[in-house]
Amino acid sequence: MLHIVNKSPFDTNALAGVLRVAKKDGAALLLIEDGVYAATKNSATEASLKAAGMPVYVLQPDVDARGLQSRLMDGVNMVDYGGFVDLVAGHDNVQSWL
Amino acid sequence: MSDDMDFEEGGAVKKFMFVNRKAPYGTIYALEGLEVVLISAAFDQDVSLAFLDDGVFQLVKGQKTDGVEMKNFSPTYRALEGYDIEKLYVERESLEARGLSEEDLLVDVQVMSAAEMGDMMAQQDVVISF
């Protein structure tokens, strides 16, 4: 399962929902739009993402738009739109946490 | 009503605060709020901007929006000075929760505690939220 979060973790509990509920085997987390703020270095959400137990991806155009290029925590993988498609195609299912 | 009349006559200057609590690109609030701030500059009022919660993300340096095909409106915050809007207040707790500091911001601001921000809000005649 590919889990997609597009809201700021400071604004909604979508990310918290993934981290609390999602089965970790074979799963991945993709942060897009305001979801990418969760991967900001030294933020209140950094520790919870590090403990996610699944690979974490962030969408580069959304990271760049928000000025976070040099402010991302270690251990997250940057993907472009093509990488987004590859992630969707590479998982059996996709769940968007709105 | 009499207050409104004072405003029409241009006699009374009121304290207006625009409170920004949304990140810049996920919703239209930040851009729309900024437009209203620029319009307000025409009325010669005592205008201030407050940034708290995700609103602090509006001021982060290095925004590059080519990849998402949206307007990068962040340089506009630096132009506010030219409209005599120089009171930009940022809540320290909001910055810290997001791993940010004053050095990460693209414009000179006054960083203050939540309590100080509350005091500042309480002093306003009009508070407008975005």
Residue B6 lies in a domain: no
Q: Could you tell me the strand order of the sheet in which B87-91 lies?
A: B110-112, B87-91, B46-51, B15-20, B126-129
Which of A41, A66, A69 lies nearest to residue B25, judging by beta carbons?
A: A66
Residue B8 lies in a domain: no
Best probe of the A interface among B29, B64, B106, by most A CBs < 10 A, is B64
Rounded to a whole number of angstroms, the distance from the CA of A62 to the nearest CA of chain B is: 7
Which of A8, A44, A65 lies nearest to residue B64, judging by beta carbons?
A: A65
Q: How far apart are CA B121 and CA B127, in angstroms?
A: 7
Give yes or no for a contact between A33 and A7, defined as CB atoms under 8 angstroms apart.
Answer: yes
Q: State the residue for tokens 């919870």.
A: A48
Residue B3 lies in a domain: no
Question: Which domain, by its residues, includes B20?
Answer: 13-129
Best probe of the B interface among A5, A6, A8, A59, by most B CBs < 10 A, is A8
Number of domains in chain B: 1
Over residues A34-66, the pLDDT tens digits come to 999 999 999 999 999 999 999 999 999 999 999
ipTM confidence score: 0.89
Whether the pTM exceeds 0.95: the reply is no
Identify the burial level of B35 via C-beta atoms within 10 angstroms of its C-beta, where 0-12 means exposed, 13-18 middle and 19 or more buried: middle
Check residue B9 and give its pLDDT.
Answer: 58
Q: How far apart are CA A22 and CA B117, in angstroms?
A: 38
Q: What is the mean pLDDT of chain B?
A: 93
The CATH number of domain A2-97 is 3.40.1260.10: yes
> Chain B contacts of A61, Cβ < 8 Å?
66-68
Over residues B64-81, the pLDDT tens digits come to 999 999 999 999 999 999
Of all residues in chain B, what percent carry a pLDDT higher than 70? 92
Over residues B95-114, the pLDDT tens digits come to 999 999 999 999 999 999 99
